């Protein structure tokens, strides 16, 4: 303890409090960064994933893993959604009659291939029309914020 120049038990307690407060501050900073990352991810996942999954399926039948890979490829690896977000969406779309799913091998039930239904194509076109202006506005806002910040 001599190397820290603590003269008393009170000095030790004061240093413990200082270190603990510093630790709490760092943890709070990390939590804030994590929340910001999650917020950005939610914009993509909640706002754009449903229409982008419909878009990928409009290109042809595929499975959930391939959808995630295709989104990753199309976004140059900048956005690779987890299959944990894609599969519940596919189940919902199937329940809503927007897609149909068929097992590649009905006996083994290993991989389900999803195809956009006629209602799915209509829903995709409707969503695309509705979101176009909002996406354009969001892009404009991002450009302004980027210019202001950088």
What's the pLDDT at 3? 60
Question: What b-and-e string marks burial along 2-22, b requiring 16 or more CB atoms within 10 Å of the CB?
Answer: eeeeeeeeeeeeeeeeeeeee
Cross-strand bridge partners of residue 99: 116
Tens-place pLDDT, residues 3-19: 667 778 888 888 899 99
Residue numbers in the chain where pLDDT is lower than 70: 1-4, 33, 35-46
What's the pLDDT at 1? 44
What's the pLDDT at 69? 96
- From CA 108, how far away is CA 130, in angstroms rounded? 40
Average pLDDT, rounded, for the chain: 86
Residue 78 has a CB neighbour count (10 Å cut-off) of 9
What's the pLDDT at 102? 92
Residue 101 burial (10 A CB sphere; 0-12, 13-18, 19+) = middle
| CATH code of the region 2-149 | 1.10.10.10
Check: pTM over 0.75? Answer yes or no.
no
What phi, psi does 41 have (nearest 5°)? -60, -35
């Amino acid at each position: 303890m001599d190397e820290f120049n603590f003269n008393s038990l009170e000095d030790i307690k004061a240093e413990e409090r200082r270190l603990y407060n510093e630790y709490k501050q760092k943890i709070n900073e990390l939590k804030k960064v994590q929340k910001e990352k999650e917020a950005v991810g939610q914009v993509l996942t909640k706002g754009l994933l449903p229409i982008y999954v419909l878009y990928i399926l409009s290109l042809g039948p595929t499975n959930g893993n391939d959808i995630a890979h295709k989104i990753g490829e199309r976004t140059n690896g900048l956005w690779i959604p987890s299959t944990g977000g894609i599969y519940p969406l596919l189940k919902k779309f199937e329940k809503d009659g927007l897609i149909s799913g068929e097992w590649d091998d009905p006996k083994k039930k290993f991989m389900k291939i999803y195809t956009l239904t006629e209602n799915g194509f209509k829903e995709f076109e409707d969503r695309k029309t509705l979101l176009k202006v909002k996406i354009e506005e969001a892009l404009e806002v991002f450009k302004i914020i980027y210019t202001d910040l950088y």
